[in-house]
A and B are shown apart, each in its own frame.
Chain A
Protein backbone atom coordinates (compact mmCIF):
# COMPACT_ATOMS: atom_id res chain seq x y z
CA UNK A 1 0.00 0.00 0.00
CA UNK A 2 2.76 2.41 0.90
CA UNK A 3 5.16 1.15 -1.77
CA UNK A 4 3.66 3.56 -4.26
CA UNK A 5 2.96 6.40 -1.82
CA UNK A 6 2.96 9.53 -3.95
CA UNK A 7 4.32 12.55 -2.12
CA UNK A 8 4.21 14.66 -5.25
CA UNK A 9 0.44 14.71 -5.31
CA UNK A 10 0.47 16.22 -1.83
CA UNK A 11 3.13 18.78 -2.67
CA UNK A 12 1.23 19.87 -5.77
CA UNK A 13 -1.94 20.28 -3.78
CA UNK A 14 -0.36 22.28 -0.93
CA UNK A 15 -1.23 25.82 -2.10
CA UNK A 16 -4.83 24.90 -2.82
CA UNK A 17 -5.11 22.87 0.40
CA UNK A 18 -3.79 25.58 2.68
CA UNK A 19 -4.48 28.90 0.99
CA UNK A 20 -8.05 27.99 0.31
CA UNK A 21 -9.02 24.99 2.41
CA UNK A 22 -7.24 25.77 5.65
CA UNK A 23 -8.10 29.46 5.42
CA UNK A 24 -11.77 28.52 5.06
CA UNK A 25 -11.59 26.06 7.95
CA UNK A 26 -9.84 28.49 10.28
CA UNK A 27 -12.14 31.35 9.33
CA UNK A 28 -15.20 29.21 10.03
CA UNK A 29 -13.73 27.93 13.29
CA UNK A 30 -12.77 31.34 14.66
CA UNK A 31 -15.94 33.15 13.63
CA UNK A 32 -18.17 30.33 14.91
CA UNK A 33 -16.22 30.27 18.19
CA UNK A 34 -16.64 34.03 18.62
CA UNK A 35 -20.36 34.10 17.78
CA UNK A 36 -20.88 30.86 19.70
CA UNK A 37 -19.26 32.34 22.80
CA UNK A 38 -21.31 35.52 22.57
CA UNK A 39 -24.60 33.70 22.02
CA UNK A 40 -23.56 31.07 24.59
CA UNK A 41 -22.91 33.76 27.19
CA UNK A 42 -26.34 35.24 26.53
CA UNK A 43 -27.89 31.78 26.96
CA UNK A 44 -25.97 31.24 30.20
CA UNK A 45 -27.10 34.60 31.58
CA UNK A 46 -30.69 33.81 30.57
CA UNK A 47 -30.50 30.45 32.32
CA UNK A 48 -29.14 31.97 35.51
CA UNK A 49 -31.37 35.05 35.44
CA UNK A 50 -34.28 33.52 37.37
CA UNK A 51 -36.62 35.86 35.46
CA UNK A 52 -39.48 33.83 34.01
CA UNK A 53 -39.50 32.69 31.20
CA UNK A 54 -35.85 33.30 30.28
CA UNK A 55 -34.33 30.24 32.04
CA UNK A 56 -37.03 28.00 30.54
CA UNK A 57 -36.43 29.30 27.01
CA UNK A 58 -32.65 28.98 27.25
CA UNK A 59 -32.90 25.58 28.93
CA UNK A 60 -35.26 24.27 26.26
CA UNK A 61 -32.96 25.52 23.50
CA UNK A 62 -29.88 23.95 25.07
CA UNK A 63 -31.59 20.60 25.65
CA UNK A 64 -33.13 20.59 22.17
CA UNK A 65 -29.92 21.32 20.28
CA UNK A 66 -27.85 19.00 22.44
CA UNK A 67 -30.16 16.14 21.51
CA UNK A 68 -29.64 16.56 17.77
CA UNK A 69 -26.76 15.26 15.66
CA UNK A 70 -24.69 18.14 14.32
CA UNK A 71 -24.88 16.68 10.81
CA UNK A 72 -28.66 16.79 10.92
CA UNK A 73 -28.61 20.44 11.98
CA UNK A 74 -26.28 21.27 9.10
CA UNK A 75 -28.58 19.58 6.56
CA UNK A 76 -31.59 21.12 8.15
CA UNK A 77 -30.22 24.61 7.82
CA UNK A 78 -28.88 24.13 4.35
CA UNK A 79 -32.04 22.65 2.90
CA UNK A 80 -34.78 24.22 4.97
CA UNK A 81 -33.67 27.80 5.53
CA UNK A 82 -33.98 28.74 1.82
CA UNK A 83 -37.62 27.61 1.97
CA UNK A 84 -38.27 29.44 5.21
CA UNK A 85 -36.70 32.58 3.75
CA UNK A 86 -38.87 32.14 0.68
CA UNK A 87 -42.02 32.00 2.83
CA UNK A 88 -40.91 34.98 4.86
CA UNK A 89 -40.09 37.20 1.91
CA UNK A 90 -42.84 35.81 -0.30
CA UNK A 91 -40.43 35.03 -3.12
CA UNK A 92 -41.56 32.71 -5.96
CA UNK A 93 -38.65 30.29 -5.41
CA UNK A 94 -36.39 29.21 -2.52
CA UNK A 95 -33.82 31.84 -1.69
CA UNK A 96 -30.34 30.36 -1.90
CA UNK A 97 -28.17 31.31 1.05
CA UNK A 98 -24.43 31.58 0.83
CA UNK A 99 -23.09 28.16 1.95
CA UNK A 100 -20.39 29.74 4.12
CA UNK A 101 -23.01 31.82 5.88
CA UNK A 102 -25.16 28.73 6.33
CA UNK A 103 -22.25 26.85 7.85
CA UNK A 104 -21.30 29.79 10.08
CA UNK A 105 -24.83 30.26 11.42
CA UNK A 106 -25.26 26.52 11.97
CA UNK A 107 -22.01 26.11 13.86
CA UNK A 108 -22.55 29.29 15.89
CA UNK A 109 -26.03 28.22 16.98
CA UNK A 110 -24.93 24.66 17.64
CA UNK A 111 -21.70 25.44 19.48
CA UNK A 112 -23.39 28.18 21.53
CA UNK A 113 -25.02 25.39 23.50
CA UNK A 114 -21.67 24.00 24.59
CA UNK A 115 -20.16 27.43 25.19
CA UNK A 116 -23.21 28.35 27.27
CA UNK A 117 -22.69 25.34 29.53
CA UNK A 118 -19.04 26.31 29.95
CA UNK A 119 -19.89 29.93 30.75
CA UNK A 120 -22.63 28.81 33.13
CA UNK A 121 -20.13 26.68 35.02
CA UNK A 122 -17.69 29.59 35.03
CA UNK A 123 -20.26 32.01 36.41
CA UNK A 124 -21.49 29.57 39.04
CA UNK A 125 -17.98 28.78 40.19
CA UNK A 126 -17.46 32.36 41.37
CA UNK A 127 -18.05 32.98 45.07
CA UNK A 128 -21.57 34.38 45.65
CA UNK A 129 -19.97 37.20 47.62
CA UNK A 130 -18.49 38.69 44.45
CA UNK A 131 -21.95 39.52 43.12
CA UNK A 132 -23.06 40.74 46.55
CA UNK A 133 -19.99 42.99 46.79
CA UNK A 134 -20.79 44.47 43.40
CA UNK A 135 -24.39 45.16 44.33
CA UNK A 136 -23.36 46.53 47.73
CA UNK A 137 -21.26 49.16 45.93
CA UNK A 138 -24.33 50.26 44.01
CA UNK A 139 -23.51 48.63 40.68
CA UNK A 140 -26.46 47.54 38.53
CA UNK A 141 -27.04 43.96 37.30
CA UNK A 142 -25.52 44.81 33.94
CA UNK A 143 -22.50 46.46 35.53
CA UNK A 144 -21.96 43.57 37.95
CA UNK A 145 -22.09 41.09 35.07
CA UNK A 146 -19.98 43.11 32.67
CA UNK A 147 -17.31 44.35 35.09
CA UNK A 148 -17.11 41.64 37.73
CA UNK A 149 -18.72 38.32 36.86
CA UNK A 150 -18.14 37.82 33.14
CA UNK A 151 -14.46 38.90 33.05
CA UNK A 152 -13.65 36.44 35.84
CA UNK A 153 -15.83 33.65 34.44
CA UNK A 154 -14.35 34.13 30.98
CA UNK A 155 -10.82 34.16 32.28
CA UNK A 156 -11.33 31.10 34.48
CA UNK A 157 -12.97 29.25 31.63
CA UNK A 158 -10.67 30.37 28.80
CA UNK A 159 -8.79 27.05 28.68
CA UNK A 160 -12.07 25.11 28.45
CA UNK A 161 -13.46 27.52 25.84
CA UNK A 162 -10.33 27.06 23.75
CA UNK A 163 -10.45 23.29 24.13
CA UNK A 164 -14.03 23.39 22.89
CA UNK A 165 -12.81 25.54 19.98
CA UNK A 166 -10.33 22.80 19.08
CA UNK A 167 -13.23 20.34 18.99
CA UNK A 168 -15.09 22.83 16.81
CA UNK A 169 -12.05 23.04 14.51
CA UNK A 170 -12.35 19.28 13.93
CA UNK A 171 -16.13 19.41 13.63
CA UNK A 172 -16.05 22.00 10.87
CA UNK A 173 -14.90 19.21 8.54
CA UNK A 174 -18.54 18.13 8.48
CA UNK A 175 -19.27 20.91 5.99
CA UNK A 176 -17.97 18.51 3.33
CA UNK A 177 -21.58 17.31 3.13
CA UNK A 178 -22.45 20.71 1.67
CA UNK A 179 -19.58 20.31 -0.84
CA UNK A 180 -17.85 23.29 0.70
CA UNK A 181 -14.15 23.69 0.11
CA UNK A 182 -12.81 23.37 3.62
CA UNK A 183 -9.50 21.65 4.26
CA UNK A 184 -10.86 18.10 4.36
CA UNK A 185 -13.26 18.78 1.50
CA UNK A 186 -10.42 19.89 -0.77
CA UNK A 187 -8.21 16.99 0.28
CA UNK A 188 -11.03 14.59 -0.57
CA UNK A 189 -11.75 16.22 -3.91
CA UNK A 190 -8.12 16.17 -4.99
CA UNK A 191 -7.75 12.59 -3.79
CA UNK A 192 -10.73 11.49 -5.82
CA UNK A 193 -9.68 13.42 -8.91
CA UNK A 194 -6.16 11.96 -8.88
CA UNK A 195 -7.09 8.56 -7.46
CA UNK A 196 -4.84 9.29 -4.49
CA UNK A 197 -7.32 9.16 -1.61
CA UNK A 198 -4.89 7.29 0.67
CA UNK A 199 -2.22 9.97 0.41
CA UNK A 200 -4.64 12.84 0.80
CA UNK A 201 -6.56 11.42 3.76
CA UNK A 202 -3.39 10.41 5.60
CA UNK A 203 -1.95 13.86 5.02
CA UNK A 204 -5.21 15.54 6.14
CA UNK A 205 -5.24 13.42 9.30
CA UNK A 206 -1.64 14.41 10.02
CA UNK A 207 -2.41 18.11 9.59
CA UNK A 208 -5.52 17.97 11.81
CA UNK A 209 -3.55 16.06 14.42
CA UNK A 210 -0.60 18.45 14.43
CA UNK A 211 -2.73 21.58 14.64
CA UNK A 212 -5.04 20.20 17.32
CA UNK A 213 -2.20 18.76 19.36
CA UNK A 214 -0.12 21.93 19.20
CA UNK A 215 -3.19 23.98 20.10
CA UNK A 216 -4.01 21.86 23.15
CA UNK A 217 -0.41 22.10 24.34
CA UNK A 218 -0.63 25.88 23.97
CA UNK A 219 -3.89 25.88 25.94
CA UNK A 220 -2.22 23.92 28.71
CA UNK A 221 0.54 26.52 28.96
CA UNK A 222 -1.95 29.33 28.91
CA UNK A 223 -3.89 27.69 31.71
CA UNK A 224 -0.95 27.95 34.08
CA UNK A 225 -0.45 31.54 32.98
CA UNK A 226 -3.92 33.02 33.29
CA UNK A 227 -5.11 31.46 36.54
CA UNK A 228 -6.24 34.30 38.83
CA UNK A 229 -4.57 34.30 42.19
CA UNK A 230 -7.12 34.29 44.98
Chain B
Protein backbone atom coordinates (compact mmCIF):
# COMPACT_ATOMS: atom_id res chain seq x y z
CA UNK B 1 0.00 0.00 0.00
CA UNK B 2 1.12 3.52 -0.78
CA UNK B 3 0.65 6.65 1.26
CA UNK B 4 -2.03 7.16 3.82
CA UNK B 5 -5.44 8.31 2.72
CA UNK B 6 -7.04 10.21 5.55
CA UNK B 7 -9.26 13.15 4.72
CA UNK B 8 -7.84 16.56 5.49
CA UNK B 9 -10.57 18.87 6.66
CA UNK B 10 -9.62 21.68 4.37
CA UNK B 11 -12.79 22.73 2.63
CA UNK B 12 -14.14 25.91 4.14
CA UNK B 13 -17.73 25.15 3.25
CA UNK B 14 -17.80 21.57 4.46
CA UNK B 15 -20.05 21.10 7.38
CA UNK B 16 -19.34 18.88 10.32
CA UNK B 17 -21.33 15.69 10.75
CA UNK B 18 -21.44 12.47 8.81
CA UNK B 19 -19.94 12.59 5.31
CA UNK B 20 -22.27 12.10 2.35
CA UNK B 21 -19.95 9.49 0.87
CA UNK B 22 -17.53 7.45 2.92
CA UNK B 23 -15.22 4.75 1.57
CA UNK B 24 -13.24 2.52 3.86
CA UNK B 25 -10.54 0.23 2.46
CA UNK B 26 -12.34 -0.58 -0.78
CA UNK B 27 -10.59 -3.30 -2.79
CA UNK B 28 -11.71 -4.93 -5.98
CA UNK B 29 -10.32 -7.76 -8.08
CA UNK B 30 -11.38 -8.70 -11.59
CA UNK B 31 -9.52 -11.98 -11.23
CA UNK B 32 -7.50 -13.22 -8.24
CA UNK B 33 -4.37 -11.92 -10.00
CA UNK B 34 -5.76 -8.66 -11.32
CA UNK B 35 -6.56 -6.07 -8.68
CA UNK B 36 -8.26 -2.87 -9.87
CA UNK B 37 -8.81 -1.14 -6.54
CA UNK B 38 -6.37 -1.34 -3.66
CA UNK B 39 -7.71 -0.40 -0.23
CA UNK B 40 -9.17 2.96 -1.24
CA UNK B 41 -10.40 5.13 1.61
CA UNK B 42 -11.78 8.64 1.37
CA UNK B 43 -14.85 10.61 2.18
CA UNK B 44 -16.85 13.44 0.70
CA UNK B 45 -18.52 15.92 3.01
CA UNK B 46 -21.75 17.73 2.24
CA UNK B 47 -21.15 20.51 -0.26
CA UNK B 48 -17.65 19.32 -1.08
CA UNK B 49 -16.34 18.98 -4.63
CA UNK B 50 -13.73 16.26 -5.01
CA UNK B 51 -11.89 15.72 -8.26
CA UNK B 52 -10.47 12.27 -8.94
CA UNK B 53 -7.64 12.16 -11.45
CA UNK B 54 -4.86 9.87 -12.50
CA UNK B 55 -3.47 8.02 -15.50
CA UNK B 56 -5.87 5.89 -17.52
CA UNK B 57 -6.41 2.45 -16.07
CA UNK B 58 -5.72 3.69 -12.55
CA UNK B 59 -9.22 2.74 -11.37
CA UNK B 60 -10.83 6.21 -11.14
CA UNK B 61 -14.03 5.27 -12.98
CA UNK B 62 -14.26 1.95 -11.20
CA UNK B 63 -13.94 3.74 -7.87
CA UNK B 64 -16.82 6.13 -8.41
CA UNK B 65 -18.98 3.39 -9.89
CA UNK B 66 -18.57 1.55 -6.61
CA UNK B 67 -20.28 4.44 -4.83
CA UNK B 68 -23.68 3.64 -6.34
CA UNK B 69 -22.97 -0.10 -6.62
CA UNK B 70 -22.75 -0.15 -10.39
CA UNK B 71 -19.48 -2.00 -9.77
CA UNK B 72 -19.31 -4.65 -7.06
CA UNK B 73 -16.24 -4.82 -4.83
CA UNK B 74 -14.88 -7.59 -2.67
CA UNK B 75 -13.40 -5.82 0.32
CA UNK B 76 -14.10 -2.72 2.36
CA UNK B 77 -17.24 -0.67 2.94
CA UNK B 78 -18.94 2.30 1.33
CA UNK B 79 -21.56 4.39 3.07
CA UNK B 80 -23.81 6.94 1.43
CA UNK B 81 -25.47 9.13 4.03
CA UNK B 82 -24.79 6.38 6.53
CA UNK B 83 -26.42 3.67 4.40
CA UNK B 84 -24.10 0.79 3.62
CA UNK B 85 -23.86 0.29 -0.15
CA UNK B 86 -22.39 -3.21 0.04
CA UNK B 87 -25.01 -4.56 2.43
CA UNK B 88 -27.27 -7.14 0.80
CA UNK B 89 -30.22 -5.77 2.71
CA UNK B 90 -29.82 -2.27 1.28
CA UNK B 91 -32.51 -1.14 -1.11
CA UNK B 92 -30.20 -0.35 -4.02
CA UNK B 93 -32.71 1.35 -6.35
CA UNK B 94 -33.66 3.71 -3.53
CA UNK B 95 -30.04 4.45 -2.68
CA UNK B 96 -29.11 4.99 -6.33
CA UNK B 97 -32.00 7.35 -6.88
CA UNK B 98 -30.41 9.62 -4.29
CA UNK B 99 -27.09 9.81 -6.14
CA UNK B 100 -27.00 11.41 -9.57
CA UNK B 101 -24.60 9.99 -12.11
CA UNK B 102 -23.30 11.43 -15.36
CA UNK B 103 -21.51 9.12 -17.77
CA UNK B 104 -18.72 9.62 -20.26
CA UNK B 105 -20.99 8.64 -23.16
CA UNK B 106 -24.07 10.52 -21.88
CA UNK B 107 -26.24 7.38 -22.00
CA UNK B 108 -29.45 9.23 -22.71
CA UNK B 109 -32.17 6.81 -23.77
CA UNK B 110 -32.26 7.20 -27.56
CA UNK B 111 -35.81 5.87 -27.98
CA UNK B 112 -37.28 8.48 -25.62
CA UNK B 113 -37.62 12.22 -26.11
CA UNK B 114 -35.56 14.61 -24.00
CA UNK B 115 -38.67 15.23 -21.91
CA UNK B 116 -39.27 11.50 -21.40
CA UNK B 117 -35.60 11.01 -20.52
CA UNK B 118 -36.04 13.53 -17.72
CA UNK B 119 -39.37 12.26 -16.43
CA UNK B 120 -39.07 8.45 -16.66
CA UNK B 121 -37.28 7.87 -13.36
CA UNK B 122 -39.10 10.72 -11.61
CA UNK B 123 -42.37 8.95 -12.34
CA UNK B 124 -41.32 5.31 -11.97
CA UNK B 125 -38.97 5.66 -9.02
CA UNK B 126 -40.10 8.76 -7.14
CA UNK B 127 -43.75 8.17 -8.16
CA UNK B 128 -44.23 11.81 -9.10
CA UNK B 129 -47.30 12.72 -11.10
CA UNK B 130 -46.99 13.70 -14.74
CA UNK B 131 -47.50 17.42 -14.12
CA UNK B 132 -44.98 17.56 -11.32
CA UNK B 133 -42.37 15.57 -13.28
CA UNK B 134 -42.90 17.67 -16.40
CA UNK B 135 -42.59 20.91 -14.46
CA UNK B 136 -39.40 19.72 -12.81
CA UNK B 137 -37.98 18.64 -16.17
CA UNK B 138 -38.80 22.00 -17.77
CA UNK B 139 -37.17 23.89 -14.93
CA UNK B 140 -33.99 21.87 -15.23
CA UNK B 141 -33.88 22.07 -19.02
CA UNK B 142 -34.13 25.82 -18.70
CA UNK B 143 -31.33 25.78 -16.19
CA UNK B 144 -28.99 23.97 -18.58
CA UNK B 145 -30.17 26.24 -21.40
CA UNK B 146 -32.07 23.65 -23.44
CA UNK B 147 -35.73 24.57 -22.94
CA UNK B 148 -36.59 24.34 -26.61
CA UNK B 149 -35.16 20.81 -27.01
CA UNK B 150 -37.78 19.03 -24.87
CA UNK B 151 -39.69 17.33 -27.72
CA UNK B 152 -36.55 16.23 -29.60
CA UNK B 153 -34.76 12.89 -29.44
CA UNK B 154 -31.19 12.61 -28.07
CA UNK B 155 -29.82 11.76 -31.52
CA UNK B 156 -30.87 15.20 -32.74
CA UNK B 157 -28.71 16.99 -30.18
CA UNK B 158 -24.98 17.72 -30.16
CA UNK B 159 -22.72 15.92 -27.70
CA UNK B 160 -22.48 18.94 -25.43
CA UNK B 161 -26.26 19.35 -25.42
CA UNK B 162 -26.74 15.64 -24.70
CA UNK B 163 -24.38 15.81 -21.74
CA UNK B 164 -26.22 18.84 -20.35
CA UNK B 165 -29.48 16.91 -20.70
CA UNK B 166 -27.82 14.00 -18.86
CA UNK B 167 -26.90 16.34 -16.02
CA UNK B 168 -30.47 17.66 -15.92
CA UNK B 169 -31.79 14.09 -15.91
CA UNK B 170 -29.66 13.27 -12.87
CA UNK B 171 -30.68 16.50 -11.10
CA UNK B 172 -34.35 15.75 -11.66
CA UNK B 173 -34.09 13.11 -8.94
CA UNK B 174 -33.06 15.76 -6.36
CA UNK B 175 -29.86 13.87 -5.55
CA UNK B 176 -27.81 14.42 -2.39
CA UNK B 177 -24.61 13.99 -4.40
CA UNK B 178 -23.55 13.86 -8.01
CA UNK B 179 -21.00 11.51 -9.55
CA UNK B 180 -19.34 12.49 -12.83
CA UNK B 181 -17.44 9.85 -14.77
CA UNK B 182 -15.22 11.72 -17.24
CA UNK B 183 -18.13 13.90 -18.36
CA UNK B 184 -16.18 15.78 -21.01
CA UNK B 185 -13.92 13.04 -22.38
CA UNK B 186 -16.22 12.06 -25.24
CA UNK B 187 -16.92 15.64 -26.30
CA UNK B 188 -15.53 17.65 -29.16
CA UNK B 189 -13.21 20.34 -27.75
CA UNK B 190 -15.56 23.21 -28.52
CA UNK B 191 -18.32 21.61 -26.47
CA UNK B 192 -16.32 20.98 -23.33
CA UNK B 193 -16.82 24.43 -21.84
CA UNK B 194 -20.62 24.44 -22.09
CA UNK B 195 -20.70 21.28 -19.97
CA UNK B 196 -18.04 22.52 -17.53
CA UNK B 197 -19.97 25.78 -17.09
CA UNK B 198 -23.01 23.84 -15.91
CA UNK B 199 -20.83 21.82 -13.54
CA UNK B 200 -19.10 24.89 -12.13
CA UNK B 201 -22.46 26.51 -11.47
CA UNK B 202 -23.65 23.35 -9.78
CA UNK B 203 -20.52 23.26 -7.59
CA UNK B 204 -20.95 26.90 -6.60
CA UNK B 205 -24.54 26.21 -5.57
CA UNK B 206 -23.21 23.75 -3.03
CA UNK B 207 -23.85 20.42 -4.70
CA UNK B 208 -21.79 17.57 -3.30
CA UNK B 209 -19.77 16.27 -6.22
CA UNK B 210 -17.26 13.56 -6.99
CA UNK B 211 -15.80 14.17 -10.42
CA UNK B 212 -13.47 11.92 -12.40
CA UNK B 213 -11.88 14.23 -14.93
CA UNK B 214 -8.70 15.38 -16.61
CA UNK B 215 -9.94 18.97 -16.70
CA UNK B 216 -7.42 20.47 -14.29
CA UNK B 217 -8.82 23.96 -14.91
CA UNK B 218 -12.11 22.77 -13.49
CA UNK B 219 -10.31 21.22 -10.53
CA UNK B 220 -8.45 24.43 -9.75
CA UNK B 221 -11.58 26.50 -10.06
CA UNK B 222 -14.07 24.59 -7.91
CA UNK B 223 -12.55 21.50 -6.31
CA UNK B 224 -12.00 21.45 -2.56
CA UNK B 225 -9.85 18.37 -2.79
CA UNK B 226 -8.02 16.39 -5.41
CA UNK B 227 -7.62 12.65 -5.22
CA UNK B 228 -4.81 11.24 -7.32
CA UNK B 229 -4.97 7.55 -8.16
CA UNK B 230 -2.40 5.22 -9.58
CA UNK B 231 -2.60 1.46 -10.10
CA UNK B 232 -5.85 1.22 -8.20
CA UNK B 233 -4.67 3.00 -5.08
CA UNK B 234 -5.33 6.51 -3.80
CA UNK B 235 -1.85 8.04 -3.83
CA UNK B 236 -2.79 11.57 -2.84
CA UNK B 237 -5.91 13.00 -1.25
CA UNK B 238 -5.15 16.64 -0.53
CA UNK B 239 -6.64 20.14 -0.71
CA UNK B 240 -6.62 21.54 -4.24
CA UNK B 241 -4.03 24.28 -3.62
CA UNK B 242 -1.69 21.77 -2.10
CA UNK B 243 -2.08 19.36 -5.00
CA UNK B 244 -1.28 21.96 -7.64
CA UNK B 245 1.30 23.69 -5.48
CA UNK B 246 3.44 20.77 -4.53
CA UNK B 247 2.21 17.28 -5.17
CA UNK B 248 3.97 15.05 -2.71
CA UNK B 249 4.19 11.91 -4.79
CA UNK B 250 6.46 11.63 -7.80
CA UNK B 251 3.66 9.95 -9.70
CA UNK B 252 1.39 12.94 -9.30
CA UNK B 253 4.18 15.35 -10.24
CA UNK B 254 4.85 13.40 -13.40
CA UNK B 255 1.15 13.24 -14.20
CA UNK B 256 0.67 16.96 -13.69
CA UNK B 257 3.73 17.87 -15.74
CA UNK B 258 2.36 15.76 -18.57
CA UNK B 259 -1.11 17.26 -18.69
CA UNK B 260 -0.32 20.83 -17.71
CA UNK B 261 2.73 21.35 -19.88
CA UNK B 262 0.73 22.23 -22.96
The answer to whether A143 and B96 touch across the interface, beta carbons within 8 angstroms, is: no
The answer to whether B109 and A130 touch across the interface, beta carbons within 8 angstroms, is: yes
Min distance, Cβ A192 to any Cβ of chain B, angstroms: 51
Contacts of B124 in A (CB 8 A): 139, 143, 147
The residue that B125 contacts in the complex, of A130, A132, A138, A230, with Cβ under 8 A, is A138
The answer to whether B121 and A139 touch across the interface, beta carbons within 8 angstroms, is: yes
Measured as residues with beta carbon below 8 angstroms from the partner, the interface class of chain A is 20 to 34
Contacts of B98 in A (CB 8 A): 138
Please give me the residue from chain A that is nearest to B100 by CB atom.
A136
Within the assembled complex, what's the spacing in Å between the Cα atoms of A143 and B92?
Answer: 14
Contacts of B163 in A (CB 8 A): none
The residue that B68 contacts in the complex, of A127, A134, A136, A151, with Cβ under 8 A, is A136
The answer to whether A228 and B110 touch across the interface, beta carbons within 8 angstroms, is: yes
Q: Which of A130, A137, A140, A147 has the most chain B CB atoms closer than 10 A to its own CB? A: A137
B149 at the interface (CB under 8 A from A): no
Q: Which of B96, B100, B107, B108 has the most chain A CB atoms closer than 10 A to its own CB? A: B107
Within the assembled complex, what's the spacing in Å between the Cα atoms of A36 and B96?
Answer: 35
Contacts of A230 in B (CB 8 A): 110, 155
List CB contacts (< 8 Å) of B58-115 with chain A.
65, 68, 70, 92-101, 103, 105, 107-111
The residue that A140 contacts in the complex, of B93, B100, B155, with Cβ under 8 A, is B93
A148 at the interface (CB under 8 A from B): yes
Contacts of B214 in A (CB 8 A): none
Min distance, Cβ A126 to any Cβ of chain B, angstroms: 10
The answer to whether A137 and B111 touch across the interface, beta carbons within 8 angstroms, is: no
Chain A contact residues, majority secondary structure: helix
The answer to whether B125 and A228 touch across the interface, beta carbons within 8 angstroms, is: no
Please give me the residue from chain B that is nearest to A155 by CB atom.
B111
A129 at the interface (CB under 8 A from B): yes
Min distance, Cβ A145 to any Cβ of chain B, angstroms: 12
Please give me the residue from chain B that is nearest to A147 by CB atom.
B120
Contacts of A228 in B (CB 8 A): 110-111, 155
List CB contacts (< 8 Å) of B142-201 with chain A.
153, 155-156, 169-170, 173
Min distance, Cβ A2 to any Cβ of chain B, angstroms: 53
A229 at the interface (CB under 8 A from B): yes
The answer to whether A133 and B125 touch across the interface, beta carbons within 8 angstroms, is: no
Within the assembled complex, what's the spacing in Å between the Cα atoms of A118 and B206?
Answer: 48
Contacts of A86 in B (CB 8 A): none
Min distance, Cβ A172 to any Cβ of chain B, angstroms: 32
Given contact pairs A129-B103, A137-B96, enumerate 20 new A-B contacts (beta carbons under 8 Å).
A133-B103, A133-B107, A135-B92, A136-B70, A136-B96, A136-B99, A136-B101, A136-B103, A136-B170, A137-B121, A137-B125, A137-B170, A138-B95, A138-B98, A139-B120, A139-B124, A140-B93, A147-B109, A228-B110, A230-B110
11 contacts between A and B (CB under 8 A): A132-B107, A137-B120, A137-B125, A138-B93, A138-B95, A143-B125, A147-B124, A152-B109, A228-B111, A228-B155, A230-B110
* 10 nearest A-B pairs in the assembled complex, by CB-CB distance: A138-B97, A229-B155, A133-B107, A137-B121, A136-B101, A138-B125, A129-B107, A138-B93, A138-B96, A228-B110
